[in-house]
Amino acid sequence: MNLKDRNLVTIDDLSNGEILGLFSLATDMFDDMPGQLDVCKGKIMASLFFEPSTRTRLSFEAAMHRLGGSVITASDVGASSLAKGESISDTAKIVGSYADIIVIRHPWEGAAKVVADYAGIPVINAGDGGHQHPTQTLLDLYTIIKERHDIKGLKIALWGDLKYGRTTHSLIFALARFGADILFCPSPGLEVPAHVIEKLVNEYGGEVERLKDSARTDDNRFSIDAIYTTPNSPHQLAMMPDLSAQVELKDGVDALYVTRPQKERFTDKEQGQNLKAKYPVVNKKLLQDKVFRKTMVMHPLPRVDELAYDIDADERSMYFKQAARGVPVRMALLAALLGAKEINVPDVESPKPPVYHEYQQEPRPTCSNPRCVSIQPTETPYLKPEYKIVNTEPLTLRCVYCEHGFEPKFVASTDWHEHKLDTKKYHSADSHWAKFIHPENLIVFNSEEEAQSLGFKPSQFVGGRH
């Protein structure tokens, strides 16, 4: 199969079969590194890193060199035209005319999608704010498969900053798709965002069981916030609701995926809360617990204090292997997207995301995520907010850029009765009337003032459920 000219912006851009096909190619390439030196000869990769990076950038650049291609680079916002106020779309068009493929890291969520929309060449997201980091997920999955042969049925605990850790967001969706069960073990205050849970449940089925505080371990050493089980595995807690989180753990976990606190993304309030002080640490002492006897310890790196050096030599520690595997995995991806190599796609099941209606009416609500690319002053002159209607109960719109969701409070229809001013009414979003509005006619408001300023009057279905 040919992946030529495709983008990798979120992990949804590849099916399970395509991911496995890329892994086979990565292994073939690793087994014969000298044989790859002509694969991308004459091709140029632009490496645009507008946030700090060591591993991701160097492994992409090493991958392109090992394929015989060349690299052009811009890594410092201060030294590029972005500092002069250039929009992302302009940068994308320019770089798209210089290179054959773009790898981009940017602090704004959804920035990689904008580059992909405007560059005209394949684009790979190397991390967009706290949104996603799909190539890290590829090498995480590759490592799990290399070590355990399959992902289905594994129990994987995600540990640390699950709020801003973009690597965990892409990984959650991928693990769910491959049929793993996930235990969420966030540091207090850094729980998985609601929009990630919403997508997990609506698109991959399964069940998320939120645990009560009483289900946490006494010393908060391994506190579990929620458990996601895939549709194909029965849920122990659902069957035995009174049992503690330890039940989920007693058979051990296959992997502990640790992340550092992403303090550069903390809000001022979060900075003040000293979230780092409560951050759980993985060390030799913790791994002595028998539930971790066969547990792989994974980490995207860099580490700060959450991963002790005393476990580096432990055979369960995978993080240096993960980083090393980044090169062949990225070689396979670059070669495939450049059309220089085909992949063999095995016949495996891959859940298909539902097809959602797009929100079509004006005025478009502004995305409420302060880190979303769609609200940045350099981007608003050309970027129109875009949403998908991903749920009707409660009515939920998802931004196509950062994927944050929001639940508007009031709604109206463009198809108001006979188009008389008297019948131009707005309703509570949770009223039964709201459900009769066709998606293409739906207008949403965040406040009654907003609805009234556009000439709508309150219907009887405003305030309280009807």
257 or 410: CB nearest ligand NCD = 257
49 or 461: CB nearest ligand NCD = 49
**Are the CB atoms for 441 and 413 separated by under 8 Å?**
yes
What single letter denotes the amino acid at residue 198?
E
Question: Measured from the CB of residue 357, what is the shortest distance to ligand NCD in angstroms?
Answer: 32
- Token pair for residue 55? 């591993």
Q: What does the alpha-carbon distance between residue 452 and residue 450 come to, in Å, rounded to a whole number?
A: 5
302 or 363: CB nearest ligand NCD = 302
Strands 44-49 and 457-458: unpaired
Query: For ligand NCD, how many residues bind (rule: CB under 6 A)?
Result: 11
| Contact positions with ligand NCD (CB under 6 A) in 438-457 | none
Cα–Cα nearest to 174, from 207, 147, 123, 135: 135
132 or 459: CB nearest ligand NCD = 132
Residue 411 within binding range of ligand NCD, rule CB under 6 A:
no
Residue 166 within binding range of ligand NCD, rule CB under 6 A:
yes
Question: Measured from the CB of residue 170, what is the shortest distance to ligand NCD in angstroms?
Answer: 10
Burial 278-298 (b: 16+ CB within 10 A, else e): ebbebeeebbeeebbeebbbb
Question: Measured from the CB of residue 70, what is the shortest distance to ligand NCD in angstroms?
Answer: 23
- Token pair for residue 344? 């063999």
Q: What does the alpha-carbon distance between residue 43 and residue 118 come to, in Å, rounded to a whole number?
A: 20
Residue 55 within binding range of ligand NCD, rule CB under 6 A:
yes
Residue 143 within binding range of ligand NCD, rule CB under 6 A:
no
Strands 101-106 and 70-74: unpaired
Question: Measured from the CB of residue 352, what is the shortest distance to ligand NCD in angstroms?
Answer: 28
Q: What does the alpha-carbon distance between residue 112 and residue 297 come to, in Å, rounded to a whole number?
A: 29
64 or 301: CB nearest ligand NCD = 301
Binding ligand NCD (rule: CB under 6 A), the pick from 21, 129, 206, 300 is: 300
Question: Measured from the CB of residue 72, what is the shortest distance to ligand NCD in angstroms?
Answer: 21
Q: What does the alpha-carbon distance between residue 434 and residue 311 come to, in Å, rounded to a whole number?
A: 56
Question: Measured from the CB of residue 267, what is the shortest distance to ligand NCD in angstroms?
Answer: 18
Q: What does the alpha-carbon distance between residue 204 and residue 231 come to, in Å, rounded to a whole number?
A: 8
Question: Measured from the CB of residue 193, what is the shortest distance to ligand NCD in angstroms?
Answer: 15
Question: Measured from the CB of residue 133, what is the shortest distance to ligand NCD in angstroms?
Answer: 5
169 or 388: CB nearest ligand NCD = 169
| Contact positions with ligand NCD (CB under 6 A) in 197-216 | none
**Are the CB atoms for 294 and 252 separated by under 8 Å?**
yes
Question: Measured from the CB of residue 136, what is the shortest distance to ligand NCD in angstroms?
Answer: 5
Residue 136 within binding range of ligand NCD, rule CB under 6 A:
yes
Sheet bearing 70-74, strands edge to edge = 70-74, 44-49, 101-106, 123-128
Cα–Cα nearest to 218, from 180, 247, 178, 245: 245
| Contact positions with ligand NCD (CB under 6 A) in 230-269 | 259-260
- Backbone φ and ψ of 35, nearest 5°: -75, -5
**Which residues are bridge partners to 227 per DSSP?**
183, 209
| Contact positions with ligand NCD (CB under 6 A) in 2-31 | none
**Are the CB atoms for 424 and 416 separated by under 8 Å?**
yes
278 or 357: CB nearest ligand NCD = 278
58 or 71: CB nearest ligand NCD = 58
Binding ligand NCD (rule: CB under 6 A), the pick from 301, 383, 442, 462 is: 301
Residue 56 within binding range of ligand NCD, rule CB under 6 A:
yes
Q: Which 8-state DSSP code applies to residue 367?
A: P
Q: Is the peptide bond before 34 cis (omega within 30 degrees of 0)?
A: no
Q: Which 8-state DSSP code applies to residue 170?
A: H
Question: Measured from the CB of residue 163, what is the shortest distance to ligand NCD in angstroms?
Answer: 13
Residue 275 within binding range of ligand NCD, rule CB under 6 A:
no
Question: Measured from the CB of residue 47, what is the shortest distance to ligand NCD in angstroms?
Answer: 13
- Backbone φ and ψ of 10, nearest 5°: -130, 165
| Contact positions with ligand NCD (CB under 6 A) in 114-133 | 127, 133
Residues binding ligand NCD (CB under 6 A)? 55-56, 127, 133, 136, 166-167, 259-260, 300-301
